[in-house]
Structure 1
Amino acid sequence: MQEMSLPYTRDLLLIGGGHSHALVLRMWGMSDLPGARVTVVNPEPTAPYSGMLPGHLAGHYDRRALDIDLVQLGRFAGARVVVGRVIGLDTEARVARLEDGRRIAFDVASIDVGVTSDMPTLPGFAEHAVPAKPLGPFASAWARFLEDSGPAKVAVIGGGVAGAEISLAMAHALALQGRPAEVHLVERDRALSGLPPRSATHLRAALARMGVTVHEDTDVQKITENAVRIGDQVLEADFVCGAAGARPQEWFGDTGLNLQNGFVAVGPTLESSVTGIFATGDCAHMTASPRPKAGVYAVRQAPVLLHNLRQRLSGKDGLKTYRPQRDYLKLISLGEKAALGDRFGMTFQGKWAWRWKDHIDRSFMNRFRDLPTMTQPALPQAHADGLADLLAGKPLCGGCGAKVGQEALMAALAETGGTALPGDDAAVLTVGAERMVLSTDHLREIVRDPEVMTRLAAHHALGDIWAMGAEPLSATANIVLPQMASRLAGRTLREVMSAAHEVMAEAGTTIVGGHTSQGAEMTIGFTILGRAHDTPITLDGARPGDILVLTKPVGSGLIMAAEMQGLAEGDWVAGALRHMTRSQGAASRLLRVAHAMTDVTGFGLAGHLRNICLNSAVGAELWLDDVPLLDGALELAGTDLRASLFAENRALVPDAPAGPRADLLFDPQTAGGLLAAVPEAELDVLDRLRDAGYPAAEIGRITDRVGQISIV
């Protein structure tokens, strides 16, 4: 008998992608809890590692070295990753509220959102400074500052260890650029007071060597566009960083959880005052054994947290206790590749200490990069002929990559009374005096997030209506959910329908009905009826001389195929999803001047252009270098990885040139852009599309060489 997948019965929500949660996800991927569905919510698809931040600021590490890729980690753990920011938590209803309006229900939750060093009461800080925490936005702001040239004036507010490390790193980075620089470190009390005197003396000497000016016992009164006012003195500053202390997230105050100075109070088991809700890392206050805010505690909390989460999800007691160490090894970056070490009052420094720190940091990050490879289940010894070739060592793609190839589709239609030519995007109906268009489409799961899946499927289905130059009038939904407990099915369906109604409302239509069922995997589809304001735009109107216009970059099939195998970078996936869920409604209205139009989906850009050529009895010239690509697509195309439908798509144009860029013309797209054959006299539509925010491009022209596509 075939192995049956087990249904979900409990929801675990991880709020934040901090060090503890990253380690929990890795351990979960090695041994999950059957029946538990995991969701992690983080503002970005990556989470920066604090230990390598000073080295990154100094120029020793690139940004990729700094970031834990939560998308890859989530795929490995079997978790859905929601890119969003939690701003509220209803502990009674067990619902998290996100900044974008989403609501995610849970049974058990953990909070690991770190802290902020924002200074909301300091005049001018919000407008002219950047807090050192959260780390991601701070690192990005510093990278932008380094793109400038000329003299640099920098001020760091906060004279603790973090402020000193940041000051030294910035001074070193500016020295490497050869830019004249002034770096100021400002502390309202005694700088480096948290260190033993011997370590503080060594660190002060390092600051002096790097030319960092330390201002102590000095309050910052105001920050302006180019200066920091301290007492009667004004420090010129083009870049101001706040590194003074750590503030908790403001939304904690409305949760009903017990707090300590604004941080979530947790007991020895890391559980908060509400059963089943945990907190860890810098955002938590350990009431039984208070410790300073340091990532080393979060790392060591992870195994205890994992055990206790599993116990609560299993409905069991027997939680473990976390016992923090009395002291920990502090390795402080000194700007250049040297470090200062401190533990139990012993102090040491040198380049060898940096190498030690570098080894520790890289070893930690490698735990999230050297993930076990996900493989297909082993084939039984006895199996039908052709099964091994079909699987070819990779999972079937989701989205349009899972669709039937064009050759098989056209052959089947021809044999059953249809046409041998590919049809238009939607059926054209005449109802009284009106011209209507009708289309239905669905997608099998391409991402684990039901809300994102719904947006993809809705925009994908709407694309058929917009490709005809029509406006959607009404829609029905067809939802297949994986088997799960009825309570979780209700939660999931609420997320699905909330997203569906939002997308359809944005498109100017409503959902008037539909059907739901449970099956082997999530599948979401929509049937949409639209109204054509004039003659619908079809595949058969293209004329020689028309310009080919594309409204979205290509490469989504390859990126999502890579994501399914844990091989795509999180930033690439997030970028692809942003393009895939971008409405094409406004683009469709602007492109009503087109002679022919289609949306680029499963058959790839070249395949859909071929459809226009076959129906219009024309040819086309496609300008390869002008075709816009999604970030990461070309890098992935340089590997052996391809989406499931790629080979069949490429076979349709056998004389196409070889190479990664050309291969992307045959990549099956999900919710792709509109491809329009526009009269040359109407080419100013490109400017209007770009003004509307579309990355539209002129990618070729229609020729009179019937049936021939020339890729140049």
Structure 2
Amino acid sequence: MHQPPLPLSQDLVLIGGGHTHALVLRKWLMKPLPGARVTLINPGPTAPYSGMLPGFVAGHYTRDQLDIDLVRLATAANARLVIGSATGIDLASGLIHIDTGPPIGFDVAAVDVGITSDMPSLPGFAEHAVPAKPLGPFAARWDAFRNEDGPASVAIIGGGVAGAELSMAMAHALRQRNRPATIHVIDASKALSALPAKSAGALRDAMKAQGVVIHENVGITQIDGHDIHLDDGRTITAAFITGAAGARPYPWLAETGLDTHDGFLTVNDRLQTSDPRLFAVGDCAHMAHDPRPKAGVYAVRQAPVLHNNLIASLSGGPLKRYAPQKDYLKLISLGEKSALGDRFGLTFTGPWVWTWKDRIDRTFMDQFETLPKMARPPLPYPRAKGLREALGPKPLCGGCGAKVGRNALSNALATLAPPQRADITPLPGDDAALLTTGGTKQVFTTDHLRSFWGDPAVMARIATHHALGDIWAMGAEPQAATLSVTLPRLSETLAERTLTEILNTVEAVLRDTGADLVGGHSTIGDELTIGLALTGLCDHEPITLAGAQDGAALILTKPIGTGVIMAAAMSGQARGADVAGALDAMQQGQRSASFILRRCAQAMTDLTGFGLAGHTQNLCHASGLAASLTLDAIPLLAGARDLSDSGAHSSLYANNRAGFSNIPETPQSRLLFDPQTGGGLLAAVPKDDAKAVVQELQQAGYSDAAIIGHLHSGTPGQVSIA
């Protein structure tokens, strides 16, 4: 007998993708707790590893090597990743507020958001400098600066170990670029005072050998453009200014109502805050039972204890105690592939120390590259004929990649009788109809998506924009929508939380278009699906697939590649940054594009499951024309071409590919058959208007809008590559 999936009954939320949480997720994927839903909230799809930051700054590591890919990690751990920054915790309601969507409920939560080296009290810092932490924005700014040309000047505010490592790494990187550089380190007290005298002296010598100028026991009054004004009257000029002076907590932590110490969340020896439902680890936590300096080694060693205590809190087991070590090995990069080691009063330097540090860092990162994969269970035997073929060679995709194939759909639809009512006009080739009531023209359409991303709010946003595509493609104005939701088996509390996230998101998107959510239906099933039925008002004849003229240019408003990227994400092949880019594209609305195109479009459709080739063919059939597509002109999402080249594709690809034998098989041409979710508008416009229309679209925020081909006389429905 089939065992239904176990319902989820507890929400565990990890706030921040720091080292501890990354390790907890990796442990979780090896042995998840049945009934617990895990959510990770992080500002981006990746989290930089601080131990390799100096090596990245120096040019020894690439940005990809610096980052833990949280998309791949969360997917492997069956956790939902919410891309956004936490802005507050409401303890009374059990909600975590984020800046990118509705609040997220929790039963147990942990905070691992790190620290910032922002200096809000220093005049001009926010406008003219970049803090070294958080690492992500700093790494991006430095990457751009070091790749410039000409002489360079850098100032680092803060003369601790972090400032010393950055100064030598920057000096090395600029020297490798043949850029004459001046590096300043500024500290209000004695530089490197936290280190033993022998190690501090060795670091000072290494800094001076690389031309780093140390300014100590001097304060800064303000930063004005590239000028740093010191309290002794001197001015230091630098084109790149960063701050590495100490560790500061994020201000919202002190506003939670939890006990804090200098703004850091106070935790006990079980890593619990003053609210037993919440834990805190890493640099954002203050260990009241055994205070320690901010160092990544503590975060790493907190992971097993936090993992145990989270499971214990969710299941009712005993908590473990965390006891930090009294001393730890410090390995400090010296810019070149050399490092300094310090422990128990011993100091040692040389290339071999770098090799040691490099091995430790790479070993840490390798555990997030080589994630265990669950093998597909073998098919039962005996089994019905055709089961293997029906199952297909790969897991079923979500979104429009889960659509029924074109032939099966067309054949089924052909069995339907034409409308019997005079006020209903079917639109040939479109998945919508025109209703006429009292002289008012009303477009009616529906769309439904199988979930492919763990964040219900993101799925709701994508599903809503996707369903609105037909309304925008016909040049109509959205009016009203009903919502259909299938939730996986959840406890009553989790069902309410999830449904609230979905409803709030759908309502926000619709209201932004001038439409209202007026009702719907919900049910329980094996997985999340979201669908909408929509009406839109037309004060003119709707734009359909028919009506395109010979010689018209084809304009596409968004890049393609969502199908291959999300299919690759399911198997852990896609880069997290590329997945985030695809999600952003799917959440971009088409309202402005529709306003621009409706003035001149002869025919228009939205790009969905049948891919660019299939939808172009539909438009050609309806208009009695053929099309030539310019392959190199078709905009692609970042990562789509590389994934296609590797052989990745959606489960709907083979169906979409059938019937296009005239198009050669190449990694680029395969993307013509990639099913799109929340895809762009495809419009036929007069050739003479096309360039101006594309320019207007780009100015309106559709930066990838492009002319991708043209229509011409020929066999109706034939699509070829020019």
Task: Decide: shared fold, TM above 0.5.
Answer: yes
Q: CA deviation at 1:376?
A: 2.5
Work out the CA distance in 2 between the residues paired with 1:74 and 1:664: 27
Residue equivalent to 2:697: 689
CA contact (8 A) 2:83 2:100 kept: no
The answer as to whether partners of 1:157 and 1:241 remain within 8 angstroms in 2 is yes
Query: Which whole-Å deviations, capped at 9, do the CAs of 1:46-83 have from their partners, x for residues lacking one?
Result: 10000000000000000000000111111011111001
Q: Secondary structure at the match of 1:415?
A: coil
Aligned to 2:423: none
Query: C-alpha distance in 2, partners of 1:520/1:134?
Result: 39
Is the contact between residue 90 and residue 255 of structure 1 (CA under 8 Å) also seen in structure 2? yes
Residue 382 (structure 1) shift: 2.4
- Residues 494-551 of structure 1 deviation map (CA, whole Å, 9 limit, x = unaligned): 1000000001011110011111111111110000011112111111111110000000
1:439 to 425, 445, 468: 445
User: How big is the shift at 1:634?
Assistant: 0.5
Distance 2:447 2:54 in 1: 50
Q: Does structure 1 retain, via aligned residues, the 8 Å contact 2:543–2:604?
A: yes
* Residue in 2 that maps onto 1:702: 711
Give me the whole-angstrom Cα distance separating, in 2, the residues matched to 1:62 and 1:311.
39
Which of 480, 498, 508 lines up with 2:514 in the alignment? 508
Query: Corresponding residue for 2:673?
Result: 666
RMSD of aligned residue pairs (Cα, Å): 1.3
Match of 1:618 in 2: 625
In structure 2, give the amino acid aligned to 1:48: P
Quote the residue 2:246 is aligned against.
245
* 1:562-581 equivalences in 2 (<5 Å): 562-581=568-587
Partner Cα separation in structure 2 for residue 640 and residue 257 of structure 1: 50
Structure 1 runs (4+) deviating above 6 angstroms are 418-422
CA–CA distance in structure 2, aligned partners of residues 634 and 161 of structure 1: 42
Alpha-carbon distance in structure 2 between the residues aligned to 1:418 and 1:205: 86
Asked if 1:290 is matched to 2:291, the reply is yes
Q: In structure 1, what is the Cα distance between the partners aligned to 2:71 and 2:277?
A: 25
Note the C-alpha offset of 1:435. 1.6
**Percent of aligned pairs with the same residue?**
56
The CA deviation at 1:216 is 1.0
In 1, the alpha carbon distance for the partners of 2:65 and 2:200 equals 29
TM-score, normalization by structure 1: 0.98
Quote the residue 1:5 is aligned against: 5
Q: Tell me, yes or no, if structure 1 residue 385 matches structure 2 residue 385.
A: yes
CA apart distance, 1:234: 0.9
Select 1:453's aligned residue among 453, 459, 465: 459
Question: In 2, are the aligned partners of 1:375 and 1:394 still within 8 Å (CA)?
Answer: no
Question: Quick check: 1:58–1:335 contact (8 Å CA) kept in 2?
Answer: yes
CA–CA separation in structure 2 for the residues paired with 1:484 and 1:73: 23
* Letter matched to residue 709 of structure 1: V
2:56 — aligned with what? 56
Question: In structure 2, what residue type is equivalent to 1:167?
Answer: S
Could you tell me how far apart the structure 2 residues matched to 1:645 and 1:100 are? 31
Q: Hey, what's the Cα distance between the residues in 2 that align with 1:622 and 1:218?
A: 65
Please give the alpha-carbon distance, in whole angstroms, between the structure 1 residues aligned to 2:469 and 2:76.
Answer: 32
Contact 1:410 1:422 in 2 (8 A): no
What are the superposed Cα offsets for residues 105-128 of structure 1, whole Å, 9 maximum, x if unpaired?
100000000000001111110000
2:535 aligned counterpart, secondary structure: strand
Deviation of the 1:366 alpha carbon: 0.6
| 1:410–1:421 contact (8 Å) kept in structure 2 | no
Find out whether 1:586 has 2:570 as its counterpart. Answer: no
CA contact (8 A) 2:7 2:490 kept: yes
2:41 and 2:525 map into 1 onto residues whose CA distance is 26
CA distance in 1, matches of 2:393, 2:306: 35
Question: In 1, are the aligned partners of 2:55 and 2:61 still within 8 Å (CA)?
Answer: yes
- SS where residue 73 of structure 2 aligns? helix
Displacement, 1:612?
A: 0.6
Q: Aligned runs of 1:195-274 on 2, under 5 Å?
A: 195-230=195-230, 231-274=232-275
Q: CA deviation at 1:392?
A: 4.1
In 2 relative to 1, CA 527–407 (structure 1 residues): closer, same or farther, beyond 3 Å? Answer: same
- C-alpha displacement at 1:375, in angstroms? 3.5
Asked if structure 1 preserves the Cα contact closer than 8 Å seen for 2:101 and 2:505, the reply is no
- Letter of the aligned partner of 1:690 in structure 2? Q
Between the aligned partners of 1:210 and 1:91, the Cα distance in structure 2 is 51
CA distance in 1, matches of 2:113, 2:327: 24
1:486 aligned partner, one-letter code: E
Of the candidates 629, 647, 655, which is equivalent to residue 654 of structure 2? 647
The answer to whether the Cα contact below 8 Å between 1:338 and 1:353 also exists between their aligned partners in 2 is: yes
Check conservation: 1:478, 1:514, Cα contact below 8 A.
yes
Q: Which amino acid aligns with 1:699?
A: I
Q: Deviations over 1:481-501 (max 9, x none)?
A: 111001110111110000000
Residues 386 and 101 of structure 1, relative CA distance in 2, 3 Å threshold: closer
Q: Which one of 455, 461, 481 corresponds to residue 475 of structure 1? A: 481
Q: Which amino acid aligns with 1:146?
A: R
Taking the aligned partners of 2:595 and 2:517, their CA distance within structure 1 comes to: 22
Match for residue 106 of structure 1?
Answer: 106
CA distance in 2, matches of 1:18, 1:516: 36
Distance 1:464 1:375, change over 3 A: farther
The Cα shift of 1:171 comes to 0.5
- C-alpha contact 2:340 2:353 (8 A) present in aligned 1: yes
CA–CA separation in structure 1 for the residues paired with 2:92 and 2:439: 55
The match for 1:347 is 347
Are residues 418 and 662 of structure 1, via their aligned partners in 2, closer, same or farther at CA, if it must alter by over 3 Å?
farther
Provide the C-alpha distance between the structure 1 equivalents of 2:636 and 2:171, rounded to a whole number of angstroms: 37
Whole-angstrom distance in 2 between the partners of 1:332 and 1:451: 42
Match of 1:33 in 2: 33
Match of 1:365 in 2: 365
2:634 to 627, 634, 644: 627
Native 8 Å contact 1:426 1:468 kept in 2? no
Q: How many positions carry a matched residue from both structures? A: 711
Answer whether contact 1:559 1:572 (CA < 8 A) is retained: yes
State the alpha-carbon separation in 1 of the partners of residues 596 and 528 from structure 2.
Answer: 34
Name which of structure 1's ranges 421-430 and 120-129 shifts more when overlaid on structure 2.
Answer: 421-430
Name the SS of the counterpart of 1:37 in structure 2: strand
- Tell whether the 8 Å contact from 1:145 to 1:239 is kept in structure 2 after alignment: yes
Aligned partner of 1:711 in structure 2 is 721
**1:104-183 alignment, distance < 5 Å:** 104-183=104-183
Displacement after TM superposition at 1:168 (Å): 0.4
Q: Could you tell which deviates more after superposition, 432-441 or 615-624?
A: 432-441
Instruction: Measure, in 2, the Cα distance between the counterparts of 1:268 and 1:506.
Output: 48
CA contact (8 A) 1:339 1:349 kept: yes
Q: Which amino acid counterpart does residue 350 of structure 1 have in structure 2?
A: G
Unaligned ranges ≥5, structure 1: none
Residue 604 (structure 2) aligned to one of 597, 600, 603: 597
One-letter code aligned to 1:12 = L
1:422 deviates by 6.5
Task: Name the counterpart of 2:436.
Answer: 430
1:451 partner amino acid: A
- Tell me the distance in 2 between the aligned counterparts of 1:234 and 1:389: 74
Decide whether the 8 Å contact of 1:425 with 1:467 is kept in 2.
Answer: no
TM-score by structure 2 length?
0.97
- Letter of the structure 1 residue corresponding to residue 656 of structure 2: N
Q: Return the letter of the residue paired with 1:457.
A: A
**Alpha-carbon distance in structure 2 between the residues aligned to 1:444 and 1:349:** 56
The answer for the alignment partner of 2:401 in structure 1 is 401
Indicate whether 1:560 and 2:566 are aligned: yes
Deviations 1:665-698 (A, max 9, x none): 1000001000001012322211111111112100
